[in-house]
Structure 1
Amino acid sequence: MPETSGDTHLQSRVLEDLSDAVNYQRWLADLARPYLGDDPIELGSGIGDYAAAWLSTAPRITVTEADDSRLKMLTTRFLDDPRVDVRPLFLPTDERAEHSAAVALNVLEHIEDDLAGLTSIAGLLRPGGAVVLIVPAFPSAMSRFDRAIGHFRRYTVASLGGALTAAGLRIERLHYINPVGLVGWYTACRALRLAPHNGPLVRVYDHLVVPLARRLERNWTPPFGQSVFAVARTPR
C-alpha cells in the first residue's frame, strides 16, 4: 500500500493548516538534522517545509511524494533551486540508491506493510546510512482523525524497535518525544473528536509549550509522548 492511503485532500489540508506551528516544525527538523549527511532523501515530503529548513545545512536533498497534488506543489516550490531533486516515490519500492540518510516524518504509519516499507527505505541508503523516523505513539491514542488520514497504526518504542530490527537495521536512538502533545491528542482527537487545525490553541501550544518541551527533553527522556523518534543504521 503506498503512503497515500487515506484522504489525501485532508492530508494536504492538515499540512497547510498547521503552518502556525512553526516552533513544532523546527523542533522536528532539528531532531533529524544531525543525521542528514551530504545527500539525504526525504520520504513523503508533503509541501516541503522540512526540506526547506534542512537546506541551511544539507548541500543537496531529494524530496519525494506519492500524491500528485503535493508533488506538483514541491516541483513549483523548488523549481529554481538546483540543490533539490523532486521526484515521485511510492513505498514500498524496489528502487535502490546510495543516499546518506532517509528521513520519514509521520510517514511510516501510512504504510500497511511497515516492515516492507522499512526494508525498502534501507535499500535507498549507502552502508551505514541513517534511517530517521518520527511516528505517532500509542495505539490507545488512535482516533477517528488518524483513520481518516490513513494511519494503519500508532507505535510504541517496543513495536517500532521490533520493526527496525526485523528490517535488519541497527538502532542508534529510540525514544518518545512531546508528552504534553500526547495529553492534548487524547483530549482533542480522542475525547472531543476534533481535527488539528490553525487557531489560538495551536498558536499558544506552539509558542509556550513547545519551546519548554524542547528545553526539558535536552536532558530528560520522557517515559511517554505524542511521537516516537528513531534513528537506525544500515549495516556497514
Structure 2
Amino acid sequence: MFTRLFSLFEGRHYRYLIVGILVFWINAWIAKWIFTYPYFSEGFYQKNLGNLIALELALLCSYPLHKYITWLEGSEDFFRKLIQFHYYSFLGIIIRILIFACMIFLGFGWLVSSFVSIGFVILVNFVSFDRFVFSPKDDSFSSNSHIYSSFGEGIGTLETIEDAVTYNRWIAAKIEDYLGEKNLEIGAGTGTIAAITSEHFPIDAFDLSRENFQILKKRFRSVKNVQKIGQDILSIKTKNYYDCIYSSNVMEHIEDDTKILNHALSLLKKGGFFVAIVPAMPALYSSFDKKIGHVRRYSKSDIRRWEKSIAPEYKVKWLRRDYFNPIGAFGWLVKMKILNQKQIKKQDAMIMNSLIPFIAWLDYLPLPFGQSMLLVLKKI
C-alpha cells in the first residue's frame, strides 16, 4: 500500500513537504521573536498585527525556498512571481479561515477543525503554486480535444491527457494488480494506459476507431510487450486465452455493454480477470457526458444488471466494485453539472494530476461515492 502511494510522489511533492515543515518552523520562530516585544501583547489588534507581521515575514522567506528548492527555478521573473505567490498564499489563508469557521459552527472541535483546514490549505497552496506561480511558460491551458476517439458509431471516448502522467499511472496501477502473461485492453484509444501497462506486461491493444488503430500501430511499432494491435474484440474467437481483459473509460460508451462483458468472459482463462474502470454516479451525468457519448454513469444498479446478464456458462466472483476519486466527483459536479462546462481543460486535468499523490490514500477507504468505479470480476 505505502509503496504504491509513495511511488506517485514526484520530486517536487517531497520537496514541497520538506520546505513546508521548514517554513512552519520559521513562522513559529518569527512569531516567538515578535511577541517578545510588549507592544504586540497589549490588545486584540496588536496581537493580530504581530501575527500578520510574522506571517508576512514567513512568506517572504518561503518564496525563495519554494522557487529555488521545491520547483528548482532560477531567478527569472522573481518579483512578478513573488506577487503571484503572495496572492495565492493569502487566498489560501482566507480559505483556511472559512473552513475552520464552518467546522467550528458545525460542532467540530478546535483540534479537528485546525487539522482539516490546515491540510486542505496545504493541498490548495501546492496546486496554486504548481499550476499558476511556478508552472512553465509554455504549459498552455488548452482543451484536450485531441484525446477523443471514436468507438462504435463514431462515439467519443474520453481519456486522460497524456501530460497527466501521475494521474495515468494511478489509474494503471489499479489494473496492474490483475495482469498476467496474456492481457487485452479494450478501447485502448491512443495508447495512454497501454504505454504504462506494457512496461512490465505483454498487452494486446484493441480500439474500434480506425484513426486510433493507426496511431496505436505507429506508437507501439517497436514496443516488444505490445504483441498485437486490433480493432473489434468481437472478432477474437480464441476462447480461454487471456489472463486479464481490461478497459479504462470505455464501457460507458457501449449501449450493450453486457455483450462485451460476456464475450470478454469467453476469452478469459479460468482464474482470469475482467477489469473495468468506469465513470460513476448517475447524479453526475451532464451534458458533457452526453456530448462525448456516455450512455451511462455506473452505480450499484449496473452491478446488479451485469450479474443478471452474465451467461449461465460463466461462473464469476466479484473482487472489486468500489467507488474512488471523491475529489474528482466534487470537481465534476461543479465544472460539468453546475457550471455546464463543455470540455475538459488541460488546466483541470493537470490540477488533478498535482493532487493525486496527496489524495490517493482515499482509495483505501470504503467510500459511498466517487467520480469513478473500479469493477473487477474473476472467472472461476
* 1:1-236 to 2 correspondences below 5 Å: 3-8=151-156, 11=157, 15=159, 18-58=161-201, 60-90=202-232, 95-97=237-239, 98-164=241-307, 166-167=309-310, 168=314, 169-194=316-341, 195-199=343-347, 201-208=348-355, 210-218=356-364, 220-235=365-380
- Identical columns (%): 30
Question: Which structure has the larger Rg over C-alpha atoms?
Answer: 2
SS at 1:29's partner residue? Answer: helix
- Aligned partners of 2:249 and 2:361: how far apart in 1? 22
Residues 206, 233 of structure 2: 8 Å contact kept: no
Structure 1 residues without counterparts, runs of 5 or longer: none
Q: State the shift of 1:83 in Å.
A: 2.2
Residues 182, 242 of structure 2: 8 Å contact kept: yes
Structure 2 residues without counterparts, runs of 5 or longer: 1-149
CA pair 111-7 structure 1, distance change in 2 beyond 3 A: closer
Residues 6, 148 of structure 1: 8 Å contact kept: no
CA pair 63-124 structure 1, distance change in 2 beyond 3 A: same
Q: Comparing both structures, which one devotes a greater share of its residues to helix?
A: 2
Q: State the shift of 1:233 in Å.
A: 1.2
CA pair 116-93 structure 1, distance change in 2 beyond 3 A: farther
- The CA deviation string for residues 140-183 of structure 1, in whole angstroms up to 9 with x for no partner, is 21111111221111111342254146314321111100011111
Q: State the shift of 1:91 in Å.
A: 5.7
- The CA deviation string for residues 76-118 of structure 1, in whole angstroms up to 9 with x for no partner, is 0111123213433336567334011000111111111121121
Q: TM-score, normalised by structure 2?
A: 0.55
**Deviates most, 72-81 or 87-96:** 87-96
Residues 161, 174 of structure 1: 8 Å contact kept: no
How many residues were matched structurally?
Answer: 225
SS at 2:346's partner residue? Answer: coil
- Aligned partners of 1:22 and 1:165: how far apart in 2? 37
Q: Comparing both structures, which one devotes a greater share of its residues to strand?
A: 1
SS at 2:278's partner residue? Answer: strand
Give the RMSD, CA atoms, in angstroms: 2.1
More RCO (CA 8 Å, sep 6+): 1
Output the amino acid matched with 2:170: W
Residues 167, 352 of structure 2: 8 Å contact kept: no
